[in-house]
Structure 1
């Protein structure tokens, strides 16, 4: 049956930035599809809360702390996943930031803020893919890079974020070519989602109205609405999909 193709039973999925927002929703969605999920974050308490929710729902999870911008931290993560769970079959690179010192017109962007965004959003995804290479190639794995509509179009006053997400789209395509046919690599590009990262936007009436004017579905997404596309890309339902960008943006990029 077609629905069986979404079953992730027996697979191990690592989700970076899995302690809140989109990452937590994806972690819970993968667990619901049968995967053993390893959510990661820099905060042990936050990531353990995700695992508690997975286990409360009858799934299996392992909480791990990691700094995705640090080579040794990332390599240690995948060493532990290999030792304790036999390796990772799915890697979801979701960890991302867009701090205040990286926002604004070019003359107002702090160069250190620029570097920090690139380190987490782009370098972190590359380091995780690099460290997971042997895991993924062992049985044929899947990588899902969580980008943004900001990886497909320009967004004003978000130069580092947009640059990092465009880079993530590019790396997705290059990895897909290098790793085919054994490993599939795809990109998920959400639009505006109601999370703590967009809290300032949802609370500003003018900004919110401008975003909704650009969004045909006329609302922000709930994080759970991004989990379904992620499960699809991770699963055998997308077995002939690689090097692609799947938008879940309420129609933003259709304009």
Structure 2
């Protein structure tokens, strides 16, 4: 991140960004990148200890950061995330919806109804409900970023229903880009394989990791920083004429024509 810090600008100076599920992995890296570029960042996750530790890390880098406990499926905690942000900073310029779960590796037709409900609730529905709370505060020039997945284009058998929910985010991106125009731009990042804790079941085995690397044209897995750079671009004024788009960040893994 030191090299990144040396070359980035200050595209988010004076702006306020909320990033959900942001105490580790891709979410934390996005919050860090936005903060290094000048944003006041509001991070969140389910556990107070994780929130506190992440805030301290960000502040240690000179970033203005606020941490709020928020399980995105909890209506009161979602509303509180928005309310606390507005009370503290007076506005919201960027929302990055990153929270997701993948509680099962069962085939779709063998997945329990409770698991289907959880996948839909966390990966799709919560993003909609969070934006319903936030929409009154998103003014002209604001930006929404959904963190989807390359799995949304071609769901892997071990994460098929997860992939389907990520496909739904593509549609949600298109629909909300129309609905929230012209004041708010809505885009999505579709990460490839990134060896975070969330994807550990895929990347901890050397043979599987190697096969995933070989699927890319760049012969490596992605990093959380790769995803953060893409999200920051889409959220910034450098992407002022981009909305309703999905940016695949997957090292050349086949996704679409």
Normalised to the residue count of structure 2, the TM-score between the two structures is 0.92
State whether structure 2 residue 53 is matched by structure 1 residue 49.
Answer: yes
Counterpart for residue 252 of structure 1: 253
Gap runs ≥5 in structure 1: none
Counterpart for residue 30 of structure 2: 26
Cα distance, 1:227 vs structure 2 = 0.8
Counterpart for residue 90 of structure 1: 94
Aligned-residue Cα RMSD (Å) equals 1.8
Decide which of 10, 14, 19 is 1:10's aligned counterpart. 14
The 3 A distance-change label for structure 1 pair 213 and 104 is farther
Cα distance, 1:5 vs structure 2 = 8.2
Preserved contact between residue 150 and residue 255 of structure 2 (Cα < 8 Å): no
How many angstroms apart in 2 are the aligned matches of 1:243 and 1:207?
33
The 3 A distance-change label for structure 1 pair 48 and 239 is same
Decide which of 77, 85, 101 is 2:81's aligned counterpart. 77
Counterpart for residue 116 of structure 2: 114
Post-superposition CA distance 1:38-67 (Å, at most 9, x none): 011001111222211211111100000111
How many angstroms apart in 2 are the aligned matches of 1:4 and 1:198?
28
DSSP-derived class of the 1:7 partner: coil
Cα distance, 1:140 vs structure 2 = 2.8
How many angstroms apart in 1 are the aligned matches of 2:186 and 2:180?
8
Cα distance, 1:108 vs structure 2 = 3.5
Preserved contact between residue 6 and residue 236 of structure 1 (Cα < 8 Å): no
Preserved contact between residue 191 and residue 227 of structure 2 (Cα < 8 Å): yes
The 3 A distance-change label for structure 1 pair 160 and 254 is closer
DSSP-derived class of the 1:9 partner: coil
Tell me which stretches of 4 or more aligned residues in structure 1 moved more than 4 Å. Answer: 3-6
Counterpart for residue 3 of structure 2: none
How many angstroms apart in 2 are the aligned matches of 1:5 and 1:175?
29
Preserved contact between residue 5 and residue 236 of structure 1 (Cα < 8 Å): no
The 3 A distance-change label for structure 1 pair 74 and 254 is closer
The 3 A distance-change label for structure 1 pair 54 and 120 is same
The 3 A distance-change label for structure 1 pair 167 and 254 is closer
Between the two proteins, the alignment pairs up a number of residues equal to 250
Q: What does 1:76-225 align with in structure 2 at a 5 Å threshold?
A: 76-99=80-103, 102-136=104-138, 138-225=139-226
Cα distance, 1:103 vs structure 2 = 1.3
Preserved contact between residue 9 and residue 37 of structure 2 (Cα < 8 Å): no
How many angstroms apart in 2 are the aligned matches of 1:65 and 1:155?
32
Preserved contact between residue 100 and residue 122 of structure 2 (Cα < 8 Å): yes
